[in-house]
Chain A
Amino acid sequence: MDFLVFQYPMITIQACLDGLLLGILFALIAYGMALQWGVMNIINIAQGDLVILGGYIAYFMYLYGIHPAWGVIVSPIIMYFVGIAIYKLVINKVVDRDLFISILATFGISILFMQLMNFAFGADVVLANSGYGTTMLFDNNVVLPNSKIFSAFISIVFAICLVVYMKRSKLGRAIRATAQNARAAKILGVDTEKVYAATFGINAALCGVAGALISITFTIHPYMGLPYTIRSFMIVIVAGLGNLPGVAMSGMGLGIFEEFADYILGTEFRIGSVFLLLVLILVYRRFKLSRKREYLK
């Protein structure tokens, strides 16, 4: 444990930039979670495992000699169908049930995915090398891998595409209508079953993009899914459902928090501090609301 952060200002800048670029990725995953939460009222614990699965798709492309950046296009397409399959098999039976049932069911899926990935890909920490090199800033004091910049850029592109799609397209309109009032949407002729399936598919596809980017920028491992779920959950409860700028902002905030926690507390407490932050945020909001005799809904 050392406090280099306070002695060398360059490390502060480094941590902030790293955190920003990382946070944009988190925001992309959180956007998927906000989407399915808002539309289907489901909290998907397997979100992080979908991310890791997407990452392995990009990693395998890298192993077979294709540049992993193409994973950004291939992985969401495959993950979309994986998402639809999960929806048809499990999720459609828990959509209008108690939220806790959906949490437990997706927890089961999460354990299943973790172990299947462990069998299929092995328990090693892997990364897909993009060979993008690095950018030096401020007299070579701040090092930014180009892959991080690339991944942040791609995340923003995908997020903008999705927002435009949700605003303009017919399916996007149907999804938004279902989120507002599923019953009314059904009466007006929206096939909510299809909308749900598509929503879950889009969420899985977003996870696929994020996973491919993570496999380029960081590392992936079959058991690393749960922290991504918790991060996206945290971002969503801070920002609120359907508040996209809020999701982006709190995602970046979380990224910066994590980088500083890493520098100040040490890497072994990094994941622990994320989970602790979740507890603290929930408790803070609970006390704030209880002054008005309300609670988080």
Chain B
Amino acid sequence: MNKNSWILYIGILVFGLVAPFIFPAFKVQLSILCVLIVLATTWNIQGGEMGYNTFGNILFYGLGMYLCASVQVGMFFPLAEWTESGGEKTFVHTPSQFFQGMAAGLVVAAVVPTIVAGLIGYAILGLRGHYFAICTLGLGVAAGEISGGIEIIGAGQGFTTPPFPNIGGLEARGEFFYFLSFGALVLTFIAVRAIYTTRFRLILNAIRDNEDKAEAMGIETMKYKIIGWMISAFFCGLAGGIMGGLVGYIDSTDVAFDGREMGVFMVLMAILGGKGTLWGPIIGATLFHFFKEGFWTFFLGWQYVALGVLIVVIVIYFPEGLMGWLREKYPERFGEVVDEADRKAQVELK
């Protein structure tokens, strides 16, 4: 790591810390952006580095959301009565109860999906290519449909998460959730960056490029695939737990296991930025969030139409993403040595 990148990291960190005070009106949007970046970055471990294009990370996200809220409520009050009252605040968390519950909830929300990923990983990750994609799509939708039928977590009528305690009002709530999600983002970034400097990333890339060959080289591919998935699941669960508290209301198919929105968004963000790079998903998520908010504001009602068109356009015309495009344009910047004659020949070919 050289001096320039240190300046960049510290600059981003400082910007992240002061952002909610510079843009007080956009606190919720910034928190959502942090969560989106976490989701895109962790999807990239799977889809970009390992070549296992999954629609199923939404499973861990939704699981984390339900678990965090359930623990937060269940630690102090009977869960069934809470969900039955559906938004009627018969029970009120004191501030210390709220924060204790949130902390415990987030730990559970991160750990349990990791275990789930480890348990189902052996069965699911044996599938390859599009079978894996469709299977994980099925997992996500099935989880949504089934959780919509379970009474204790609110079934069809949804689950209201505990309201923020009455200290400092709306401002304090926004700041709390912003710093929570920003913390998750920093944690994810440090972890992913550390992972990407190790041999683990090379193994994942080997699996992506040719799994049979990687196995023949003596790599226990299944073990590394499961570990990769567990890392994704950990951060997806954490992001889900935070998002549940931020939104304040959990519905099985529209908020938690929302394969039609969040499940596709994370894939799209990573592809838009460029999969298989560290910065790609982060840039992709930021751009995508701007696009999305623009659609939601200016094309209200038509947002899904615009979204569908956006998906098709991105997938057909920018499958390599922004980073891929930059890499093709300025290969020197990415540490690739380019022969000048070779490049001229390529330009002429085009």
Instruction: Please list the residues of chain A having a beta carbon within 8 angstroms of any beta carbon in chain B.
Output: 43, 90, 93-94, 97-101, 103-105, 107-116, 119, 226, 230, 233, 237, 266, 268-269, 271-272, 275-276, 278-279, 282-283, 286-287, 290, 295-297
Contacts and interface: CB of A to CB of B under 8 A. Distances in A.
Contact of A112 (B123, B135, B312): B312
A263 to B, nearest CB: 15
Given A105-B316, A272-B141, A279-B142, 17 more contacts: A90-B312, A94-B316, A98-B319, A99-B129, A99-B130, A104-B267, A104-B311, A105-B311, A107-B264, A108-B315, A112-B312, A266-B149, A268-B149, A275-B139, A279-B135, A287-B126, A290-B126
Contacts of B128: 295-297
Contacts of A233: 134
Main secondary structure of the interface of B (DSSP, over half): helix
- Binding site of A, secondary structure by majority: helix, strand, loop or mixed? helix
Interface of B: 53, 123-124, 126-131, 133-135, 137-139, 141-142, 144-146, 148-149, 156, 260, 264, 267-268, 271, 301-302, 304-305, 307-312, 315-316, 319
Contact of B130 (A43, A107, A116, A287): A43
Nearest to A46: B308
Contacts of B304: 111-112, 114-115
Contacts of B137: 230
A230 B309 CA distance: 22
Given A233-B134, A275-B138, A296 B127 contact: yes
B127 A286 contact: yes
B260 A269 contact: no
A266 B156 CA distance: 14
A237 B130 CA distance: 12
A284 to B, nearest CB: 9
Nearest to A286: B126
Nearest to B211: A295
Contacts of B145: 268-269, 271-272, 275
A272 B146 contact: yes
Contact of B149 (A94, A112, A269, A286): A269
Nearest to B131: A296
B141 A295 contact: no
A90 B267 CA distance: 19
Contacts of A113: 308
A239 to B, nearest CB: 15
Contact of A279 (B138, B148, B316): B138
A93 B316 contact: yes
B149 A105 contact: no
Contacts of B141: 226, 230, 271-272, 275
B312 A109 contact: yes
A111 B308 contact: yes
A38 B99 CA distance: 55
A104 B131 contact: no
B138 A90 contact: no
Contacts of B309: 108, 112
Contacts of A105: 311-312, 315-316
Contact of B139 (A108, A111, A268, A279): A279
A94 B319 CA distance: 11
24 contacts: A90-B312, A103-B130, A103-B133, A104-B264, A104-B267, A104-B271, A105-B312, A105-B315, A112-B304, A119-B305, A230-B138, A266-B149, A268-B145, A269-B146, A272-B149, A275-B141, A276-B142, A279-B135, A282-B131, A282-B134, A282-B135, A283-B124, A287-B126, A296-B127
